[in-house]
Structure 1
Amino acid sequence: MGINEPLNRKLRMALVGGGQGSFIGRVHSIAACLDNRAELVAGALSSNPERAKASAPDYGIAESRAYTSYQEMLDSELALPEDQRIDFVSIATPNHVHFEVAEAAVKAGFNVVCDKPMTYDLAQAESLLETVKNSDVVFALSHNYTGYPLVRQVREMVTSGELGEINAVRAQYIQGWLRTSLEDEDQKQAAWRTDPKRSGAAGAFGDIATHAYNLGRYMTGLLPDQVSCHLKAFVPGRQLDDYGTAVIRYENGALGTVTASQISHGRENDLEIEIDGTKGSLRWRQENPNELIYRQNGKAHQIITRDPNASFMNPMGAGACRIPAGHPEAFFEAFANLYVAAFDDMAKRASGQPIERHDTVYTNCYDGVEGMYFIQQCVASSNENAAWLPLKHEAARP
């Protein structure tokens, strides 16, 4: 089989953000190229022109395609012959830049993979959705935890009715790296994440609670109805929340909780989810991603391991595996699975085939709007002493 059939070539990638000192830009570049289906050929790696140029050799980007702004990059790439220009733009910048880059890329006709949360605020997200709907581009959002094989295993288990009706979802993402005021020490990652001008209306909830919330939505398919939320900044002087808990009412009557912390001592990237159904319950933890615990009353607890060749793996779970059981697959591979699914649609689009826009394996622009609505309503609820507020966004449900 050729690469990205029927194109039979690698897709050409451009990266916006990811300059020196960046974490997520490097992750995007590795994940996108992991399966030999893409190559990074261009970039606007920093808003600082000197840093943008200086960062290019770290990625192997030729000087001629190391741009000093995303506008220059898009204009220059469009001027190239079609068989040389980029196919997609990956956005790995702070939140406040997402919208302008994504909108410009979509209007220029380039596919987009955008880091989460999709935009700075809900109004931008709604506007971007309309722009995407009026185009034919592929738009993916990097909720990369949806790419883990056992996460996708659960998604199919729920869809097939193996857990029965879902009654409860408990999701949490617990970190400890912001226990002290790193932002006052000019630590790059802390500085923009705690700055409302760059991060948006929420801190920990915009940064990591969105992952926990999205994971519950992705694995269960439950539609949210209302939310009640408490947010708090425990570190003195911090402008945005570093801890919070939301309670969610789903349309089927189920209840959910989302808890996020960035101030819990010793915690690293502890994303965990538990799902209770009428036929069984399960637990998955990102720091031990190759095991899924499944429980039923009166039966021994089961540990389902990631094994692409085992009969207990369903097609969706097995299809997300790359290597045999016992060889751990983790963060980069899960991130790459998001790219792989988007690449499938990019190849279809390039060959003139229709693509699905809403019901996709990868998180998409509709999911991005829902995520931004979740952030907005959680902040609003917290400001109103945890008042119950709507969580059903019509634009996210075509």
Structure 2
Amino acid sequence: MTLRTGVIGAGIVAENNHFPALTRNPKTTLAAVCDLDESRAREAAAEHGATAYTNPEILFSEEELDWVHIATPVQSHAELATKAVESGIPVTLQKPATTTRDELEDVLASAREHDVPTSVVHNWLFYPVVRRLRRRIRTGELGEIRAVETTFTGEGRPDETYRGSWVFDLPGGDLEEGFPHPLYLTLAIGGTPRDEEAVDVRTRVAGEYDDDVGYDGVRMQYVTDDDTLCSVTYTSGSAPNNQIRVHGTERSVTVDVPTNTVDAHDREEGPFHLPSEQVRRGLTTARSSLLGVANSLADYGLSHVEDEYGVHRERSADGHYFLFNEAATAFREGRQPPVPLSRSRWVLTLMERARESM
């Protein structure tokens, strides 16, 4: 069964991620493209052999779709997703899933009423280095997890964007569009907060902006039911650094996402005032770095082959492709997609806490 799929929103996210993933996957067929800009819809549809639409309601009524991707500005997500599920079409929403938690709950209620699967794009969970980290946690290699720290710094100015002016209506401007990434990574790896009272948030505005920007940096901490201490740091205006640190009872791991490096150290190391232990730790880190370079080269080579020749790989290094392939497999087998829309509940709750602290 090949899933006839439509994409609503033919902008940069669809062009870079949704269209190439759907057109080269043998499980999916890009059947329809919808965008308010008629020329953009027609251009994308012609390129990929799909039918162009400018009205989502006409799309839903005229096309027999098995799946629809919504890659429009977030302000339109709730309305479009609701119309899709009312038409009986499974939906995948780009992140942020909706602008507010209340909007999300309305979509989820409609999905339950019509018994239609819904999902959200949390693509960083499916980068190879993050998949390897989560596998090590699942197998118990790290022991019991005591703390998770996620750092995303060096983001662009909140008042500048390549995505479109719609981001400036978000309280954090362009910065808020990317905020779900460190949040869903921390929630998936460390767990969800014990309750909303267990969440502590600090925001700041360090830059000077022409527009009314609510924040350009966030620091958030919370405790889970398992007493795991989780923290997220997300800022603009500093040197880029995207890392995940996981501290377990047996081993601690630092994942540097851009370099594909996993630097692991066990509890037997140290004490580090001894030169021999300093050398030992340095050698371990050096080996991790070399392995990260090797993994990066392998992933880059495979990704290049996939993109250049339209090759389908079940274990793709591309986070979007991997996620969409897993979702397509789930839909074909009558299972729930790997990242159900309900996973956005805590993401949006934490985003709203950041807005409240401004």
TM-score range, shorter chain: 0.7 to 0.9
- Normalised by the length of structure 2, the TM-score is 0.81
Higher helix share: 2
After superposition, residues 84-163 of structure 1 pair within 5 angstroms as: 85-163=64-142
Q: Does 1:336 align with 2:321?
A: yes
Query: Among residues 214, 225, 237, which one is paired with 2:210 in the alignment?
Result: 237
SS for the counterpart of 1:338 is helix
Which deviations, in whole Å up to 9, do the C-alpha atoms of 1:287-336 show, x marking residues without a partner? Answer: 123x32211144453639589xxxxxxxxxxxxx9x97784659962211
Q: Does 1:11 align with 2:15?
A: no
Contact map agreement 1:163 1:277 (CA 8 A) in 2: yes
Q: Which residue of 1 aligns with 2:57?
A: 71
Q: Which amino acid aligns with 1:92?
A: A
Contact map agreement 1:204 1:261 (CA 8 A) in 2: no
1-structure distance, mates of 2:74, 2:299: 37
- TM superposition shift of 1:50: 4.4
Taking only aligned residues, the RMSD between alpha carbons, in angstroms, comes to: 2.9
Contact map agreement 2:216 2:236 (CA 8 A) in 1: yes
Q: Which amino acid aligns with 2:245?
A: E
Q: Does 1:212 align with 2:182?
A: yes
After superposition, residues 197-346 of structure 1 pair within 5 angstroms as: 201-203=171-173, 206-221=176-191, 223-225=193-195, 226-233=198-205, 234-240=207-213, 241-264=215-238, 267=240, 270-289=241-260, 291-299=261-269, 300=281, 301=284, 303=288, 305=291, 327=301, 333-346=318-331
> For the structure 1 residues 208 and 188, does the alpha-carbon distance in structure 2 shift closer, same or farther, using more than 3 Å as the test?
closer
- TM superposition shift of 1:370: 1.9
- TM superposition shift of 1:344: 1.5
Which deviations, in whole Å up to 9, do the C-alpha atoms of 1:80-130 show, x marking residues without a partner? Answer: xxxxx2211111111101111111111111111110111111110011111
Provide structure 2 residue ranges, at least 5 long, that are not aligned to the other structure: 270-280, 305-315
Q: Which amino acid aligns with 2:148?
A: V
2-structure distance, mates of 1:119, 1:101: 11
**Percent of residue pairs identical:** 22
SS for the counterpart of 1:163 is coil
- TM superposition shift of 1:42: 0.4
SS for the counterpart of 1:110 is coil
> For the structure 1 residues 101 and 325, does the alpha-carbon distance in structure 2 shift closer, same or farther, using more than 3 Å as the test?
closer
Contact map agreement 2:8 2:69 (CA 8 A) in 1: yes
1-structure distance, mates of 2:331, 2:349: 27
Q: Which residue of 2 aligns with 1:39?
A: 29
Equivalent pairs, count: 325
> For the structure 1 residues 256 and 120, does the alpha-carbon distance in structure 2 shift closer, same or farther, using more than 3 Å as the test?
same
2-structure distance, mates of 1:136, 1:39: 23
- Normalised by the length of structure 1, the TM-score is 0.73
Contact map agreement 1:91 1:112 (CA 8 A) in 2: yes
